[in-house]
Chains A and B, each alone.
Chain A
Amino acid sequence: MAVDTLMMAVLVLIYLAATLVIGYLGYKKTKSSEDYLVAGRCSHPVIIALSYGATFISTSAIIGFGGQAANLGMGLIWLTVLNIGVGILLAFVLFGKKTREIGQRLSAVTFPDLMCKIYKSPLLQYIAGFIIVVSMPLYTAAILIGGARFIEPTLGISYTTSLILFALITAVYVVFGGLIAVMYTDAFQGTIMLIGMTVLLALTLITVGGFTAGCTALTNMADLVPKALSDQGMTGWTMMPELGSPIWFTVITTLVLGVGIGVLAQPQLVVRFMTAKDDKSLNRAILVGGPFILMMTGVAFTVGALSNVYFYQTSGRIAIDAAGGNVDAIMPLFINQAMPGIFVIIFMLTLLSAAMSTLSALYHAMGTALICDLWGRGRECALSMKAHQAGIVIMMVLSTILAFLLPINIIARATVMFMGLCACAFLPAFAVGVYAKAPSTKAALYSMVTGAVVWFIWTAFFHAAEAKPLGLCQALFGKVTLLGSPWTAVDPIVIGLPISLIVMVVMQWQIGKAQPSAAAA
């Protein structure tokens, strides 16, 4: 459908102006360091839910993973199951309440600070802060690339200008308004995302003749699955891949488990729990959070898969062929071709909202980690607002430089890598930390370092999707990966998380067993 570019540019500018005004309101409410770092610990439940959801869902979830569903089929719906079951219910009920209560009691202001205060270990804070400062720019750069790729054609400006503008506009309200501004704008952006995805679902179902008709048509297209995919275990878009096949490993271990579990220990999301005044706020946030995530990922995966029906009926080609083999181009192409012009604009605002809400949270988490957890740890200046503003600017500049260096097809891959690393390094120590009566510092240190190291080794030497572009294995051993199939398709989280967990549990148990006897002696 033809889109009025002037209208689109005007609406995008209105959206950006509204975002800055809301950010300014957050700035006006920010009076203290606690406001800047944890939103004064009194956020409204709806704002917590929308901020958590909008931070969680980036352009990667809609464009990257929607495209993956168009390519690999509806099996990705299992990621939605984990997004809601693990990312919302389990996260809020099991971890959220404990995190809020401990964070408030110990006056923790960042994720590494929380770990430090639980385990009484500054070293743990340094390590967690270091992992965040080193790894989060990768994810941030991917979000920047996604946003710039959208702004470039929308506003008709160059990719370089788009990327710098996107980075600067988002940084302005994060730097000045801190977490209150971030969460206010997240709520606004989350609302736009909800509207956009609801309309997208309705129009897609109308386009393919309803859910049942669309799925039936998709089922009947099973013989159109490309040979390259069917050879690797794909049997159709409405079927799960063959158990144990390379595509099954990719769908289940990388896409479903990697992102589904990785969400539990993401520093920028854990901080959202610490902004709640009480458990009642978190209970109420769950009510909004579950349906919100369903309308984000559930809709993206369903629409992505059903786009094959549209492309086949209109051009005789499946989605990936229509998009010229570029998975990331499937969703934008479908929106542009199948949707009315006005919806193309709404969807573009949805994407911009998804990108900005995630980006602002990452800026805040990286900047506070740099200042509070690394540079100023244990010092009074670690809580200075000016210092944190400087930290956010430094990390914003570093991420922007990285965005210019990375390839533009890194979006979904960088998301999975970051979430996998967070889970391997942080999850066991975080889980034991908030639940154990006497959590062992030594166990947490070993678990965190082991998780991060194993994740890196598997990423660089075994998992083909990363080992090949990194080239480290090739340079050292003369081959792309150290092991053959199916290990090349097994995501690092499947190896790193269990090992990190075993280290944590065994050491916690051993130390716990030794303590009573030591006391008795």
Chain B
Amino acid sequence: MIFGIPDFQILLGYGLSIGLALACIVYGLLYWNEGDGSNGS
């Protein structure tokens, strides 16, 4: 049992939620200056 949660599926859900939010931050930083101009990257 991790963090008081016995079900791995729930833990995985929390892990993915936080991981995906972090992935959004990383994506935004990595591509911060890409895609300039009005007709796509």
Q: List residues of chain A with CB under 8 Å of any chain B CB.
A: 74-75, 77-78, 80-81, 84-85, 88-89, 93, 97, 100-101, 104-105, 211-219, 238-240, 277-291, 293-294, 298
Q: Which residues of B contact A240 (CB under 8 A)?
A: 7, 9-10
Q: How far is the CA of A85 from the CA of B16 in the complex (A)?
A: 9
Q: Which residues of B contact A288 (CB under 8 A)?
A: 28
Q: List residues of chain B with CB under 8 Å of any chain A CB.
A: 1, 3-7, 9-10, 13-14, 16-18, 20-25, 27-29, 31-41
Q: How far is the CA of A214 from the CA of B3 in the complex (A)?
A: 9
Q: Which residues of A contact B22 (CB under 8 A)?
A: 290
Q: Which residues of B contact A100 (CB under 8 A)?
A: 40
A-B contact count (CB 8 A): 124
Contact A277–B38 (Cβ < 8 Å)? yes
Q: How far is the CA of A64 from the CA of B35 in the complex (A)?
A: 38
Q: Which residues of B contact A214 (CB under 8 A)?
A: 4
Q: Which of A84, A238, A278 touches B5 (beta carbons < 8 Å)? A: A238
Q: Which of B16, B17, B20, B35 touches A282 (beta carbons < 8 Å)? A: B35
The 4 A-B residue pairs with the shortest CB-CB distance in the complex, in nearest-first order: A290-B24, A287-B28, A279-B35, A215-B4
Q: How far is the CA of A211 from the CA of B29 in the complex (A)?
A: 30
Contact A290–B20 (Cβ < 8 Å)? yes
Q: Which residues of B contact A85 (CB under 8 A)?
A: 16, 20
| Interchain nearest-CB distance for B28 vs A (Å) | 2
| Interchain nearest-CB distance for A215 vs B (Å) | 3
Q: Which secondary structure dominates chain A's binding surface?
A: helix
Contact B31–A283 (Cβ < 8 Å)? yes
Q: How far is the CA of A88 from the CA of B33 in the complex (A)?
A: 19
| Interchain nearest-CB distance for B5 vs A (Å) | 5
Contact A81–B16 (Cβ < 8 Å)? yes
Contact A97–B40 (Cβ < 8 Å)? yes
Q: How far is the CA of A77 from the CA of B41 in the complex (A)?
A: 34
Contact B27–A283 (Cβ < 8 Å)? yes
Contact A213–B14 (Cβ < 8 Å)? no
| Interchain nearest-CB distance for A216 vs B (Å) | 3
By beta carbon, the residue of chain B nearest A305 is B10
Contact A287–B25 (Cβ < 8 Å)? yes
Offer 15 A-B interface pairs, CB within 8 angstroms, sorted by A.
A80-B13, A84-B21, A101-B39, A211-B3, A216-B4, A238-B7, A239-B7, A280-B32, A280-B36, A280-B41, A281-B35, A284-B28, A287-B28, A290-B23, A293-B21
A215-B5, A219-B4 known; A97+B41 contact, CB < 8 A: yes
Contact A286–B24 (Cβ < 8 Å)? yes
Q: Which residues of B contact A285 (CB under 8 A)?
A: 28
By beta carbon, the residue of chain B nearest A98 is B40
Q: How far is the CA of A74 from the CA of B5 in the complex (A)?
A: 10
Q: Which residues of A contact B7 (CB under 8 A)?
A: 238-240
| Interchain nearest-CB distance for B39 vs A (Å) | 6
Contact A93–B5 (Cβ < 8 Å)? no
Contact A215–B36 (Cβ < 8 Å)? no
Contact A298–B17 (Cβ < 8 Å)? yes
Contact B10–A238 (Cβ < 8 Å)? yes
Q: Which of B24, B31, B35 touches A84 (beta carbons < 8 Å)? A: B24
Q: Which residues of B contact A277 (CB under 8 A)?
A: 38
Q: Which residues of A contact B40 (CB under 8 A)?
A: 97, 100-101, 278-279
Q: How far is the CA of A238 from the CA of B9 in the complex (A)?
A: 10
Given contacts A277-B38, A279-B36, 15 further A-B contacts (CB under 8 A): A75-B10, A85-B16, A93-B27, A97-B35, A213-B4, A215-B3, A239-B7, A240-B9, A240-B10, A280-B35, A282-B35, A287-B29, A290-B20, A291-B25, A294-B18
